[in-house]
Amino acid sequence: MKNFYYPQKVAVIGVSQNPTNLGRGIILNLRQAGYTGKIYPVGPRGGEIYGLRIYQHLRDLPEKVDLAAVLTPARFVPQVVADCGDLGITRVVVESGGFSELGEQGRELEKEIIRLIDRYNLRLIGPNGLGLINMEIGLSLPFSQLAPVPRRGNISVIAQSGGVGMHRIAWMTKEGLGLNKFLSLGNKLNVKENEALAYFLEDPGTEMIYLYLEGLEDGRGLLEVAKRATKPIFLQMPNVVPETSKIALSHTASLATDEKAVDAACRQGNIFRVLRQSDFLNAAKMVGQPPVKGNRLVILSRSGGEAVVGAYACKRYGFTLPPLAPALADFIHERSRSKIIKPGNPIDLGDIFDFQVYSQVMDHLCQDPEVDAVLLNYGPVYDPERAEARAMAQHLIKRSRESGKPLAISVCATLEEEDFFREDLGVPTFHFPGDAVRALSYSRDFALRPDPDDPGTDEPDFDEQEIAELLRTAAGNGFLPMPLALSLIEAAGIPVARWLAAANSEEALKAASQLGFPVVLKLAAPSLLHKTEAGGVILNLNDLPAVVAAYRRLAGLAAQHLPPGEAWEVVVMKQVSGGEEVLLGAQRDEAFGPLVACGAGGILTEILEDVALRVAPISRQEARKQILETRIGRILQGVRGRPAADLEALSRALAILSHLVDRFPQIKEVDLNPVRVFAGEEGISALDARIRLG
Amino acid sequence: MKNFYYPQKVAVIGVSQNPTNLGRGIILNLRQAGYTGKIYPVGPRGGEIYGLRIYQHLRDLPEKVDLAAVLTPARFVPQVVADCGDLGITRVVVESGGFSELGEQGRELEKEIIRLIDRYNLRLIGPNGLGLINMEIGLSLPFSQLAPVPRRGNISVIAQSGGVGMHRIAWMTKEGLGLNKFLSLGNKLNVKENEALAYFLEDPGTEMIYLYLEGLEDGRGLLEVAKRATKPIFLQMPNVVPETSKIALSHTASLATDEKAVDAACRQGNIFRVLRQSDFLNAAKMVGQPPVKGNRLVILSRSGGEAVVGAYACKRYGFTLPPLAPALADFIHERSRSKIIKPGNPIDLGDIFDFQVYSQVMDHLCQDPEVDAVLLNYGPVYDPERAEARAMAQHLIKRSRESGKPLAISVCATLEEEDFFREDLGVPTFHFPGDAVRALSYSRDFALRPDPDDPGTDEPDFDEQEIAELLRTAAGNGFLPMPLALSLIEAAGIPVARWLAAANSEEALKAASQLGFPVVLKLAAPSLLHKTEAGGVILNLNDLPAVVAAYRRLAGLAAQHLPPGEAWEVVVMKQVSGGEEVLLGAQRDEAFGPLVACGAGGILTEILEDVALRVAPISRQEARKQILETRIGRILQGVRGRPAADLEALSRALAILSHLVDRFPQIKEVDLNPVRVFAGEEGISALDARIRLG
């Protein structure tokens, strides 16, 4: 990747003197961004552009270039790529559109390009994108004009849609944020997001990464890269609902992925998911600031109102406002005009007109290890005091930098003042106190992020061979017969309530006697998915006559409701009582592969929407975190007089399930619902199991 | 209020030639806003300011003014107010600080001013505020400078904090939004938010109201005003958590109110609560646009990426993207270069370079009654096509205005383009598609707002006298004895499980026989609040010996755990089975008065956080809405094979409870937990009642 970003000689192919030629735009952007290397425009009609000769063919160039940017009509692109290969140019950026996003013909062109990439061992970005930018050397390859020219800074951007990328960069510039590198992925024939992300994570110029994606090439790979990240990653991934799917498909040939899976992966990979653009723009303002290493914030405010707004935001975003150190409180008290109010946090300096006091307060705060960050609500400021107020702000910024105490400034004054802060001081400048607190919270969440889970440290010891053999006995794809599903779960090491299969009523009686009363009878048949609703589960059988009657009822049900000829049997299960019902489940996502789920069990699963997901596999520790994300998980911890449930056993089962579906890709779906979780260390018991192969 | 906003002659008291004099700022603001009336500066040192003579005393003015703006030191304010009264000036705006927000001395000054207001029958705004603005006549009374000068428009602002108000107005201006009227409430000695709100709701120049409050003078009054509103009201009310309370108190002497109560009142009053400033700024851009009367949105986009972003926002904010009318789909298909993709919604016009097509598509959409609003993602635009693209946008805006079809424009191009839209076209211009969809959703939610509840149409027929008599039998304040609480609930018409009180074990036996088995025994004693946890509730008593044993256990419990000498008794209750457990409750809020609550019952109430609130009283219809806001409510409606529960009976009970606490202010708190709700039309049954008087 580095060779893409630091070329010393660049050819731009598809340039003409025609004023509507788009290739001109690339030359202009390179010029305006101050590219430090050599530029060679190429176009069949030759001529001159911005004082540079347009060569008619790549081979006419006086020297070999390091990178070729291509913007010819799609049908010519394969030939240009072949030319690059012949000339030993190994980095090619194709901006032309007209490929798979337009259908079959374009797909054929892409296949041809892929063959050329393989033949010449090239690396290629695009097609159907805006190429790349590296502000460190003024390398700006988009054909659409960057207005304003981006600031140089430490944020790097990967965007699947060039248009979205350009627009976001313009807003970064407007908000005073500096760009380091940009990549427009386009149709991702060769260079894809994970490789680019990994490069930016290593790149010394990049401190934060913004990722706009419409489809995931390899979600698990993304998660693995993100888990190793030591820089914050912000992901905007809007193509996660049916509404977006069709348009993304026609735009960048991307399939939708599941919103909940994206959220789960973001949680596991410490990725911040961007739901509002302003969240990213605010968070990005903390780049280059010392990290916020805790929850304790002090707000310094001249406007009492903005102090209230800031304090409310603290509550929303999980900051506390610790009381001031006594020495500081005394210091402020002595300088207050009214001398009535005991200074608290937020510090309302509304009645102190001496800006020296602000600076001295900041000096105190910078030395206080009990303060994790400072928010200054700057303003309102009256004309005669402007110069002094600005000097005060500059002093605060200086002190913050010297002492490593994070400082965010919300400019609650005229907009002119805000411009001064952003343009002249280059500090994190926020429009409203709430935005500042939100940004501080991102910095804190990144600084305090948990270590990523390593599921390999905690592999369950189930016998893979035994499970493989059980799977081989399955007749094919589709749902496993219930007895087989229960056996498989048991073999993996997840406790199941004691059960026996019965092919007739005699066997049922025998089974019941063997298990001991009370028992439950369940009708097991492939076409019967919702047993409870169908009446296929009969509870509270306390003696043999009841078992016989129940067996008959199930037989009747089978005769009436199952398709003719469908085989069925009955599972006799020991009825267990006590505990809470949860569900454990697994499914497969197009992008992320196997996922595991846990949540409130029984028939209320859907209505409570109380489910947490993880990309499998996970360790027991991660499983416990997952469980505690749900409401039922918090109930299991023990509430108001209820004993705590056996979370350890439940976490273990969830981790096992995650490894099971990871190692056996033929398992498409698992549903253990309900699983009873007992108090103390009394374990768990799965009462039902559905497993679908595919 | 109107006399405050349309004076023809204004005196400004507290002006001097001194460059640090704050009163000068008022004169300057009046000048810059183009005040159309006469300005009379007043200050004891006389002189001249901005070409105007400074009169030394109010009585020196050549004519009577309609309004006096006062910015003298606090100690002189009572005299100035008295002078106004003597001169027949009935509208006084006091901007000076140094009153109750600074403590006792200031409170005394305020009392003096209140006496003068009464004596002279004056109206007074402030003190400790920034006065008011009416952009219709250029009346701009804040002393701090407005930079930039606000645009004139249709949004009116009421702010308790002047600083917050000024800053928000600056941002409105920046975002292209026009101000109509502004009021800085300050310490609210005389003019308070509800009166101002009512005036703005009547005011022809105002189309939308933004309300920033730190404390509610009269929350119920606010709700009543809001219920009659035909204009959208946005309320920012950050002083709702302990973190904000102290600072708000020292700032504008406001007490915190409860966040959940504010949310409930907002729901009942169709008020939009502002949690992020950008939400209001976006929503306000729809002022003057036709209302969005439904959920069906069409997105028109040149950037496929921004179309995906917009479509995702639709999902978040409850819009659907209906398929295009066949004629329109055909029209676009014919004009597409690739002719491969069937046009859908979002309409991706990325491969159509003829801007005429956009206009023609808009013509189609404007005529389509199946389309409720249109979002145009404008851009990206290349230099040579700029003029044509802008002309297209102008045509779209024109067609939208002519046809009454709401149009929002997200400018996904250079920032220069956005400036052009905002400054030159004066249309709702959004930074990102998500912002535009959010704004459209506010317009829709207001257009489709439910009729406000009229609890008076549905008064329960309980016997007020009977209840008053029961309340009189209470020994004083504090918790009612359980039998009295149960009787009171029954008297109000809320069904309670059959029960009898027992003073000894013989009475308990008799009661059990009379009620029929199984029964429950409950220990009733004032100091025993959490009976279940304390072991004070014994269930499943199936025969007389079990009742005797249970009575003994409760007696033992009473002897062991109750304070010596505390009276206790036992309630024998028929044990009911079946149904779902909910809680119904009532409490009192400082600002909003009585509130009613419903939610998941039993001991899980807190952990599920599944409670909905309303300001009492409410009708049965409103109660049903309240219940259905909770998860338990949705479960009660019937899910996956479960029968629906008797929501009608539950709604009736909740409405009764709301009227009960409204009519009997001595009832401070009611807790009916659990209430069993049975299936079908089998009613409900309260199993416990706690009532606190005060």
* Closest residue, chain B, to A314 (C-alpha): B243
B415/A148 touch (CB, cutoff 8 Å), yes or no: yes
Task: Flag whether residue B246 sits within 8 Å of chain A, measured between CB atoms.
Answer: yes
Which residues in chain A are closer than 8 Å to B274, comparing Cβ atoms?
A: none
Regarding beta strands A519-524 and A537-541, do their DSSP bridges make them parallel or antiparallel, or are they unpaired?
antiparallel
Q: How far is A506 from chain B (nearest CA, A)?
A: 32
If pLDDT is split at 50, 70 and 90, which confidence band does B526 have?
confident
- Whether the pLDDT of residue A362 is over 90: the answer is yes
Task: Measure the CA–CA gap between B232 and B283, rounded to whole angstroms.
Answer: 10
pLDDT band at A253; cut points 50, 70, 90:
low
Query: Does the pLDDT at position B314 exceed 90?
Result: yes
User: Across the strands, what pairs with A583?
Assistant: A599
Q: Are A241 and B415 within 8 A, CB to CB?
A: no
Check B307 against A346: CB less than 8 A apart. Answer: no
The reported pLDDT for the residue numbered A533 is: 62
Q: How much is the pLDDT for B230?
A: 95
pLDDT digits 0-9 by tens, B650-678: 999 999 999 999 999 999 999 998 999 99
Task: Give the tens place of pLDDT for each residue, B367-401.
Answer: 999 999 999 999 888 777 888 989 998 999 999 98
Q: What is the CATH number of domain B147-284?
A: 3.40.50.261
- Given a cut of 80, whether residue B534 has pLDDT beyond it is no
Evaluated on CA atoms A602, A605, A608, A614, the torsion sign reads positive
**Identical topology for domains A147-175+182-284 and A580-693:** no
User: A34-81 pLDDT, tens per residue?
Assistant: 999 999 999 999 999 999 999 999 999 999 999 999 999 999 999 999
Q: Let me know if domain A147-175+182-284 sits in CATH 3.40.50.261.
A: yes
Cα-based distances in Å from B183 to A84, B199, B256, B645: 68, 11, 21, 49
- Position A344 scores a pLDDT of 87
Residue A95 neighbours by CB under 8 Å, 6+ apart: A26, A69, A70, A71, A126, A127, A128, A129, A130, A131, A141, A142, A143, A162, A184, A186
Using the 8-state DSSP alphabet, how is residue B446 labeled? H
The CATH number corresponding to A498-575 among 3.90.1150.10, 3.30.1490.20, 1.10.760.10, 2.102.10.10 equals 3.30.1490.20
Q: Looking at domain A580-693, which CATH architecture does it have? A: 2-Layer Sandwich (3.30)
Beta-bridge partners for A685: A676
Evaluate if residue A602 carries a pLDDT over 70.
no
Query: B271, B346 in Cβ contact below 8 A?
Result: no
**What is the model's pLDDT at position B20?**
85
Task: Report the topology of domain B1-144.
Answer: Rossmann fold (3.40.50)
ipTM metric: 0.91
- B590-613 pLDDT tens trace: 889 999 999 987 655 665 678 899
Interface mutation vs chain B, best among A17, A210, A308, A533, most B CBs within 10 Å: A308
Percentage of the residues of chain A whose pLDDT score is greater than 90: 72
* B115-132 pLDDT per residue, tens: 999 999 999 999 999 999
Instruction: Please check the confidence at residue A563 and state whether its pLDDT lies above 60.
Output: yes
Do A238 and B382 count as a contact with CB atoms less than 8 A apart? no
Confidence bin at B340 (pLDDT 50/70/90): low
pLDDT at position A105: 87
Q: Where are the alpha helices (H) located in B72-151, listed in sequence order?
A: 77-87, 104-120
Query: Count of CB atoms within 10 A of residue B423's CB?
Result: 10
Say yes or no: A281 contacts chain B, CB-CB below 8 A.
Answer: no
Checking if the pLDDT of B184 tops 70, the result is: yes
In sequence order, the β-bridge partners of residue B125 are B93
Domain boundaries, chain B: 1-144, 147-284, 297-447
For residue B342, the chain A residues in CB contact (below 8 A) are none
- Shortest distance, CA B607 to any CA of chain A (angstroms): 7
A342 at the B interface (CB within 8 A)? no
Tokens (6 digits) for B278: 């950008």
Contacts of A300 in chain B (CB under 8 A): none
pLDDT for residue A341: 63
What local confidence, expressed as pLDDT, does residue A338 receive? 66
Q: How confident is the prediction for chain B on average, in pLDDT?
A: 91
pLDDT at B269 over 80: yes
Q: Which fold has domain A1-142?
A: Rossmann fold (3.40.50)
| Interval A506-552: pLDDT, tens | 999 999 999 999 999 999 987 776 666 677 899 999 999 999 999 99
The two tokens of residue A644 are 């705590």
C-beta atoms of A603 and B379 within 8 A: no
CB distance A311–B251 less than 8 Å? no
Please tell me if residue A19 touches chain B, with a CB cutoff of 8 Å. Answer: yes
Question: What backbone phi and psi angles, to 5 degrees, belong to B316?
Answer: -65, -40
Q: How far is CA B381 from the centre of its chain?
A: 41
Mean pLDDT (whole number) for B47-67: 95
**B446-486, pLDDT tens digit by residue?**
999 999 999 988 888 899 999 999 999 987 888 899 999 99
Backbone angles phi, psi at B664, to 5 degrees: -115, 85
- Tens-digit pLDDT profile for residues A643-675: 899 999 999 999 999 999 999 999 999 999 899
Sign of CA dihedral A613, A619, A623, A624: negative
Compute the distance between CA of residue B424 and CA of residue B420 in angstroms, rounded to an integer: 5
Is residue B461 classed exposed, middle or buried when 0-12, 13-18 and 19+ CB atoms within 10 A define those classes? exposed
| CB proximity B350 to A under 8 Å | yes
pLDDT score recorded for residue B609 = 74
Question: CATH homologous superfamily for B297-447?
Answer: Succinyl-CoA synthetase domains (3.40.50.261)
Sheet holding A139-140, edge to edge: A139-140, A132-134, A179-184, A152-159, A208-212, A233-236, A271-273
| Mean pLDDT, all residues of chain A | 91
Q: Is residue B274 within a helix (H) or strand (E), and if so which, with residue range?
A: none
Percent of chain B whose predicted confidence (pLDDT) is above 70:
96
pLDDT in tens, A93-106: 999 988 988 778 88
Region B73-85: what's the mean pLDDT?
96
Q: Name which of A243, A262, A320, A632 to mutate to probe chain B: the one with the most chain B Cβ atoms within 10 A of its Cβ.
A: A243
How many CB atoms within 10 Å of residue A102? Answer: 22
pLDDT of the residue at A438: 96
Separation in Å, CA of A350 to nearest CA in chain B: 9
B604 or B553: whose pLDDT is higher? B553
The residue-averaged pLDDT of A579-606 equals 85
State the pLDDT confidence band at A608, using cuts at 50, 70 and 90. Answer: low
Q: Please report the pLDDT score of residue A257 as a whole number.
A: 72
CA atoms within 13 Å, Cβ hemisphere of A689: 25
Residue B679 has pLDDT above 80, yes or no: yes
Residue B623 has pLDDT above 90, yes or no: yes
Count the Cβ atoms, other than its own, within 10 Å of residue A687.
23
Q: What are phi and psi of A89, to 5 degrees?
A: -85, 115
CB nearest B252 (choices: A148, A304, A435)? A304
Q: Band the pLDDT of A248: cuts 50, 70, 90.
A: low
A380 contact B CB<8A: yes
At B657, which helix (H) or strand (E)? Answer: helix B647-663
Question: Taking 90 as the threshold, does the pLDDT of residue B60 lie above it?
Answer: yes
3-state secondary structure A360-399: HHHHHHHHCCCCCEEEEEECCCCHHHHHHHHHHHHHHHHH
**Mean pLDDT, residues A444-457 taken together:** 92
